[in-house]
Amino acid sequence: MKCIILAAGYATRLYPLTKNKAKPLLEVAGKPILNHIIEKVEKVDSIDEVYIVTNEKFTPSFQDWARSYQGNKQIIVVNDHTTTNDNRLGAIADIQYVLDQHEIEEDIMVLAGDNLFDFELVDFVHFYQEVNADSITAHELDDPEEMKRTGIVEVDADGVVTSFEEKPQDPKSKLAVPPFYVYKAETLPLFKQYLAEGNNPDAPGNFIPWLIQHKPVYAFTFEGLRYDIGTIESYHKVQELF
């Protein structure tokens, strides 16, 4: 299994903090957000390589980070060669870019580079292996306003995703979907098909409602919290919590 960490955004909502620093490299509790994520990836034995896809502006910063990395996974920094928020590829197009550039034909785990979480990726991979199908993560939210700012899914009794809505005004369930996914090797060509059909290349969650029309997707429901660092306020809140 390969791991792709999405880190090609420009995080304009976090300016001035991210004007000259990539969001995943902002520190929380004395170390970069990326380190918190990688520590979870480290525990997944089946992952041997981690691809950090970023842009032209932040490639040198991630290369510096990779050089100082002490873990046992091979880190590959991938430059998608975009230069501004206006010409960015979008997360789904970035996944396709990594697949093309490195000719990946194995299962992949996709993680956002700006989310912290309590659960263990090892448990997520075990779930994926049991269901033997593309899998997403989900957790229960109680805050109606927060539900309107994330992807919301419905699942059946077996855990199969039956509907997915990004930022719904009227959420159909309390199950929110953070940007952590595992896709089977045979699903990878569908990214190209999705993009070729002119679908939205941006938020990684946009792929899910399209994918569930083509094949079963399961939801791994985890306990505990996850923290989406999207604004100055959310960054300060995470700092306090950690």
pLDDT in tens, 102-115: 999 999 999 999 99
What share of the chain has pLDDT > 90, as a percent? 85
Report the DSSP beta bridge partners of residue 180: 111
Task: Specify the pairing of strand 108-112 against strand 218-221.
Answer: unpaired
Q: In angstroms, rounded to a whole number, what is the distance separating the alpha carbons of residues 140 and 152?
A: 10
Q: Is 38 left (phi over 0), alpha (psi -120 to 50) or beta?
A: alpha
DSSP label of 26: S
The residue-averaged pLDDT of 151-168 equals 94
Tens digits of residue pLDDT in 68-94: 999 999 999 999 999 998 899 999 999
In CATH, 2-241 is 3.90.550.10:
yes
- In whole angstroms, what is the distance from residue 227 CA to residue 180 CA? 12
Residue 145 has pLDDT above 90, yes or no: no
- Across 12-150, the runs of DSSP E, i.e. the strands, are 27-28, 31-32, 49-54, 74-79, 108-112, 115-117, 135-140
Q: Rounded CA gap, 93 and 203, in Å?
A: 10
What's the confidence (pLDDT) of residue 144? 84
Q: How confident is the model at residue 187 (pLDDT cuts 50, 70, 90)?
A: very high
- Cα separation, 3 vs 75, in Å, equals 10
pLDDT surpassing 90 at residue 147: no
In the block, tokens 């955004």 appear at: 9
| CA pair distance 25, 15, nearest whole angstrom | 14
Q: Which residue type is seen at 97?
A: Y
Smallest Cα–Cα separation from 153: which of 132, 138, 141? 138
The count of C-alpha atoms lying within 13 angstroms of the C-alpha of 65, restricted to the half-sphere facing its C-beta, is 24
- pLDDT tier for residue 225 given thresholds of 50, 70 and 90: confident
Residue 241: which pLDDT band, with cuts at 50, 70 and 90? confident
Q: How many CA atoms lie within 13 A of 182 on its CB side?
A: 26
Per-residue pLDDT of 33-60, as tens digits, reads 999 999 999 999 999 999 999 999 999 9
Provide the pLDDT for residue 224.
85
Q: Token pair of 211, please?
A: 């994918």
Alpha-carbon distance 44 to 113, whole Å?
17
CA distances to 85, 128, 182, 190, 223 from 140, in Å: 32, 19, 20, 29, 8
Mean pLDDT of the region 186-215: 96
Instruction: List the one residue out of 64, 62, 49, 134 whose CA is nearest residue 98.
Output: 49
pLDDT of the residue at 212: 97
| Domains of the chain, residue spans | 2-241
**Rounded average pLDDT over 103-129:** 97
